[in-house]
Chain A
Amino acid sequence: MKLFTKLAAGLTLAGALMGGTAAIAQDNVRIALVAKSLGNGFFEAAARGAEEAAEELGNAEIIYTGPTSTTAEGQIEVINSLIAQQVDAIAISANDPDAVVPALQRAMQRGITVISWDSGVAPEGREMHLAPSSNELIGQTIIKLAADHMPEGGQVAVLSATSTSTNQNAWIEEMNAVMDQYPDIEVVATVYGDDLADKSYREAQGLMQSYPDLDAIIAPTSVGIVAAAQAVQDAGKVGEVNVTGLGLPSEMAGAIESGASESFAIWNPVDLGYATAMLAYNLATDEATAEPGAEIGMGRMGTATLDDDNTAAMSEPFTYDASNIDEYKDIF
C-alpha cells in the first residue's frame, strides 16, 4: 500500500501548509445560492436577482452553483465544497428536505449562515425558510386578477386540479374568505380537471356551456390555466371569458397574445433570488437573527416576518400580462 504512505505524506505536508493558507482576507460577504440543478431557467433568473441584490449591497458576492441533476447527493457534494471554501452564507432550494440536513448542520456548526428558499429544508437544517408566497396571498391574488377585469361584476368559475389537492384547496379557501370584498362577483362553480390537459379542457368547455354569461375562469394550476385558455379560444369566446389564475409565462405566452387571458400570476424568480440574497446577507452579517416573530429586511421587497417555524412568505404572486410576458416567457 505504497499509495497510502504517499497520501499520508501528502496530508502531513498539507497540515504544515495549513498555517499559511488559512488566513485569507475576506472583504466581501460571500453568499452561495444553491439551485436544485443548473441549466434551469427559473434558477438562472433567481441568480440574476441575487446578483442585483449583491450590486445594491456593494460588499456582497454571489456564488451561484448547484448539481447537474436534481439529486440530494449532488447537492451534498456542492455543500461540502462550499463549507470548504468557508463561504459566509448558503441559501439552498433543496432537492430533498431531509437528506441535506446533516450536511447543512455541519455548515452551521462551522459558522455558516444557512437558509432555504423556494423548496424548503426541514427546520433543524436551516435558520429560516423563504417561501415565494403564502396560501393567503395566493388566494387573494387569484380573485383580484379576475376582478380587475370585471368592473361591473359578474360570474366567475374555478377550474382546479384534483379535489384532494392540498395546495389548490387551501388557495380556493383563502379566496372564498375574501369574497365579501367583491359583492358584485359570484363564484358559480368549482370544477376539477385533475391536472390533466384533456380533462381540464373538457371541464372548461362544460363551464362555458352551463354558464353562458360566465365572465372569468380562475385556474390556480399551471395545467388547468393553459387548457382553459385553449378552450376559450376554440369556443370563440376571447374577450367574453377571461382566463386567469396561476401559470408559467412560457406556457401562457400564447394565451396572453391571443387575448384569451388578460393576466395571470406566479412568483417572480428574479424577486425571489433578490430577497433570498438580502436575507442571507442580513443574517450572515448579524444585522438580524432568525427567530419566530423576527422581521428581516429584504431590500426593495420589504420585510420578511418569520412565523413559529421560522418560515416567511416573500410577497403576493407577481402578475404577468401583455406588458411583461415577452421578458419572462424565455425564462421559465
Chain B
Amino acid sequence: MSLAEGTKPRHVPDRLTGRSQRVLRSWELLLFAVAVGIFVANSLASPYFLNPWNLSDATFNFTERAMIGFAMALLIISGEIDLSVAGIIALASTAMGWALQFDVGTAGLIAIALAVGLACGAFNGALVTRFGLPSIVVTIGTMSLFRGISYIILGDQAFNGYPEGIAFLGRGYAFWVVSVQLVLFAVFAVVFGVLLHKTNFGRQIYTIGNNPTAARFSGVRVERVKFILFLLTGVMAAVAAICLTGRLGSTRPSIAYAWELEVVTMVVLGGVSILGGAGSILGVVIAALVMGLVTFGLGLLNVPGIVMSIFIGALLIGVIAIPRLIALVRLRRRA
C-alpha cells in the first residue's frame, strides 16, 4: 500500500484547480457512466423498465434514504458519522403515531416529527461535542436507544390512521409522474448543494474534515459546526420519517430497520471520503440514482434480494477501487 499512500487518489475537495479538477470530474463522470450503463442495461433486459410510471415507482426506492444521505454527507465530510438515523426515523414516526390521538392535524404531526428529530440530533451532538466522545460509539448507542423507546411504546402494536396530508407527502404526486418525494429530493439536493459548496459554512465543514486543529486555529468554531450538522442530520431523518410513514400508512417499531448502513453506503458510493474532508452533493445524488436503478432493474428481473446486496457491495468496492487502481497504474508508468 506504499504507493497508494503516496498518491492520495481519493482526495476530492469540492473546489479545485488544474489536474486535480480532472480527478473530480472523472470521479463523478465515472459514477454517472455507471448510472447510464445500468439504465441502458435495464432497458434492454426488461420490457417494463422504460415506462414513466414504473420509473417513477422506482424513485421511491431511494428518495427517503437520499434525503438523509445529503445531511450525512456533510457530517461525514466533517469527520463525524451518525449511525442512529434509522433509530431517529423509528422514534419520530412513533411520536407522530402517538400524537394522532390528540387530533393535531398534518401540520402538527410534521412539527412533532421534526421536533423529535431535532431533539435526537441535539442529544447526539451534545454527547459528541460536549463530552468529546467518538460519534461512531455514541450513535451506535443511540441507534438502539431511540428504536428501543419505540419498542417500549409500541411493542407488537402499530399506529394507523394517518391523515391524508401525511399520505400525500409519502405517496402523492406533485404533477404527472413526479412524486412529492421526488420534488423534496430535488429541493433538498439543491439546498444542501448550495450549503456545502457555496457558503462559508460549507467551507468550514471541509476545513474541519481535513484538519480540525488547523480549523480551530483559523477561528472556525469546530464544536458549533459539528453540533449544527448533527441537528441537520436529525431533522433530515425526521423528514424521511414523515415521508416513509406516509408511504407505509402505519408505524411499527421495526420501521426503516438497518437503513443507517444503506444511507452510509449511498454517501460513500457518492465519493464522500469516509475519512472526512472530501466529497460532493452531486456525487450523492448520482449514487442515489445508481442504487435506485440497480435495485429496481434487478427487481424487474426477479433477481433475489441477496444477489442485489452482492451487486451493490461489488459496485461500492469497484467504484472506490477503480480510481485508486488508475492512479496506481499511472504512477507505475511514470516510474
Contact = CB atoms under 8 A, between A and B. Distances in A.
Contacts of B167: 102
B158 interface: yes
A1 B193 CA distance: 11
A21 B49 CA distance: 9
Interface string A59-96: 00001011111011110111011011110000000001
Given A21-B51, A78-B299, A96 B61 contact: no
Given A3-B32, A71-B254, A99 B249 contact: yes
Interface string A1-32: 10110010011011101100110100000000
Contacts of A81: 296, 299-300, 302
B70 interface: no
Contact of A66 (B50, B250, B305): B305
Contact of A96 (B250, B256, B285): B250
Contacts of A13: 50
A77 B61 contact: yes
B52 to A, nearest CB: 6
Interface in A284-300: none
Interface in B297-328: 299-300, 302, 304-306, 308-309
Contact of A98 (B39, B61, B160, B186): B160
A254 B186 CA distance: 59
Interface in B253-312: 254-258, 282, 285-286, 289, 295-296, 299-300, 302, 304-306, 308-309
B304 A21 contact: no
Contact of A11 (B55, B190, B252): B55
Which of the four size classes fits the interface of chain A? 35 or more
Given A3-B32, A78-B299, A11 B249 contact: no
Of A68, A83, A98, most B-chain CB atoms within 10 Å:
A98
Given A24-B47, A84-B48, A98 B249 contact: yes
B54 interface: yes
Interface residues of B, number: 48
B296 A68 contact: no
A80 B58 contact: yes
A251 B306 CA distance: 27
Of B51, B58, B255, B300, most A-chain CB atoms within 10 Å:
B51
A15 B299 CA distance: 21
A18 B52 contact: yes
A282 B178 CA distance: 36
B206 interface: no
Contacts of A85: 46, 48, 300, 302
Interface in A184-218: none
Nearest to A101: B249
B304 A3 contact: no
A67 B308 CA distance: 10
B58 to A, nearest CB: 7
Contacts of B171: 102
B57 A84 contact: yes
Of A13, A21, A66, most B-chain CB atoms within 10 Å:
A21
B300 A84 contact: yes
A65 B308 CA distance: 13
A39 interface: yes
A308 to B, nearest CB: 21
A216 to B, nearest CB: 33
A68 B48 contact: no
B50 A102 contact: no
A68 B248 CA distance: 19
A108 interface: no
Nearest to B178: A11
B306 A38 contact: yes
A84 B286 contact: no
B247 interface: yes
Contacts of B286: 3
Given A4-B186, A77-B61, A98 B51 contact: no
Nearest to B246: A102
Contacts of B186: 4
Interface in B28-56: 32, 39, 46-55
B188 to A, nearest CB: 13
A21 B52 contact: no
Contacts of B53: 84
B60 interface: yes
A102 B58 contact: no
Interface string B176-212: 0100000000100010000000000000000000000
B50 A68 contact: no
Given A3-B285, A98-B249, A99-B248, A84 B158 contact: no
Nearest to B299: A81
Contacts of B47: 21, 24
A156 to B, nearest CB: 32
Interface string A32-70: 000001110000000000000000000000010111110
A7 B296 CA distance: 16
Nearest to B306: A68
Nearest to A66: B305
B306 A39 contact: yes
B158 A96 contact: yes
A98 B257 contact: no
Interface of A: 1, 3-4, 7, 10-11, 13-15, 17-18, 21-22, 24, 37-39, 63, 65-69, 71-74, 76-78, 80-81, 83-86, 96-99, 101-102
Given A39-B306, A81-B299, A84-B296, 14 more contacts: A21-B50, A63-B302, A65-B302, A72-B248, A73-B257, A76-B248, A80-B60, A80-B299, A84-B53, A84-B57, A85-B46, A85-B48, A85-B302, A86-B48
Query: Which 9 pairs across A and B sit closest by C-beta, in order of nearness?
Result: A81-B299, A68-B305, A98-B250, A84-B54, A99-B248, A14-B50, A80-B57, A21-B47, A102-B249
